[in-house]
Amino acid sequence: MNAATYTTNVIDDNSPSKRFMRALRVILLRMIAVLSFAIFASLGFCEEENAASWKTPSSDAVKKASFDWINAKAPSPETLKRAEAIWSDMPKQATEDDSLNRVVAVFALSDKDAQTLQAVTERPPQSLVPPKFALLTDPKAPSFVTDNLRLRYARWLAQHEYYDEAQELLKGLTPDRVVAPASLLFYQGVVAHRLLEKESGVKTLDLLLESDSVAPRRYSALARALRADLENLDEDSLDHVARRMDDVRRRLELGRVGPKTVTTEKGVVQSLDKMIKDLEEKSKQCDKSQGQSTLRPDKPSEESKIAEGKGAGEVTKKNVGEQAGWGDLPPRQREEAMQQIGRDFPAQYRDAIEQYFKKLAAEKEE
C-alpha cells in the first residue's frame, strides 16, 4: 500500500484511528500557534506588546463629545447653530491642537468662565498675576470640560513662563482625559525641564515618544532635545547653578518673591560656596604637591641654621636707565613674557599688552 492509498483510507475511515489523528492534528496546530506568538513577541513583532499607552482621539469622536455636552445644557437654536459653525470647516487631517481649540470654543458658547478663559489665552498677559477661574476647580463641572480647559490654560501659562502655575494645572492630567494628549505630555515635559525636575521630565517625555508617529513632528523633535538635555544635567555642575539663577531671574521678573524664590536663591548660594570650597581644596593640594616636588630629600636643609653663602656678595651692575620698563625688554624675553601671559589669561589680555608694548616703543623712538 502506497502513501496516497493509506491517506485516503484513513480519511474515509470513521475508525478510532481517524479520531485520534484529528485530535493530534488539533494539538499540533495549537502548539505551533503558541510557539509562533512567543517568537513574534520576543522579536518585537507583536502589536499588542509594543502598542503605545496613549493615542489621539479622532476629530469625529471629539466633535460628538462636545455636542453631547452642549446638548445637555438645552441650548437655544442660535447657540446650537454657532456650535455647528465651529465644526463645519473641520479638515479631515485636523491636528489635536485644532480639536482642542474647537472644543474650548464650544464650551465658551454656554459658560462665561470658559468664554473669559478663551479670550485670555488668545492674547499676551495683561498683568504679572494671571487670572484664576473657578470653573477649573469646580467639582460639579464635567471632567471633560475642566480637564480640557486646564490643558488650554496651562499651555498658555507655560508659553509665557508661568511654569509654576502651569504645573499646578497639569498635575494629575493623563492622556486619556484630554482631546490633545500629545500637547499635554509635551507641556508637562517642558514645565519639568524648566523647573529642573529631571526624573519626572524624562519619564513624561519618554511617554510622549511612545507614539512618535502620532505626535506632531515639532513635539517629537523638541521632546528628544529636552530629554537629552535633562539626561545629561548634573546637579553638582555649574550649568545646574546657572539654570537655577536664571529661574530666580524669571521669578523676580514676574514679581514672585515668595518662599520658593528665596529657597532657590539660598540653594544657589550654597552650591556656589561648595564649589568655591572644593576649588580651594584642590588648589591647596596642588600647591602642596608642587612644594614637595622641589625639595631634595637626600640633603634637607636644617630649619634653625642659616645657610652659609660662599660667594663674594656682588652682582654685575647694569645701567637700566630712567626709561627702562617692559617696553625695553629684548625681543626674545618679551615674546617669552607674552607666551606666559597667553597661557595664564584670556586672549583679550594678550592683545591689550601687545598694544601697550607698541605704544612704549613708539614713545621711545619719538
pLDDT in tens, the chain (366 residues): 443 443 344 344 555 555 555 555 545 445 444 444 343 333 333 334 446 789 999 989 999 999 999 999 889 999 999 999 999 988 777 789 999 999 999 999 999 999 999 999 999 999 999 999 999 999 999 999 999 999 999 999 999 999 999 999 999 999 999 999 999 999 999 999 999 999 999 999 999 999 877 888 889 999 999 999 999 988 878 888 888 888 888 988 888 888 888 888 888 888 888 888 888 888 888 777 766 655 555 555 555 555 555 555 555 555 544 444 444 556 666 666 666 555 554 455 556 556 656 665 666 665
Distance, in Å, from the CA atom of 198 to the CA atom of 200, rounded to the nearest integer, reads 6
Mark out the alpha helices in 234-330 (DSSP H runs): 238-253, 259-294
State the Cα angle at 115 between 113 and 119, rounded to 5°: 115
The whole-angstrom separation of Cα 124 and Cα 161 is 12
Q: Residue written as cell 498658555?
A: 156
The DSSP line for 199-211 is HHHHHHHHHHHHT
| Angle subtended by helix axes 59-71 and 143-159, to nearest 10 | 120
C-alpha cell at 338: 607674552
Where does residue 255 fall: left (phi above 0), alpha (psi -120 to 50 degrees), or beta otherwise? left
Degrees, nearest 5: CA angle 105-123-117: 40
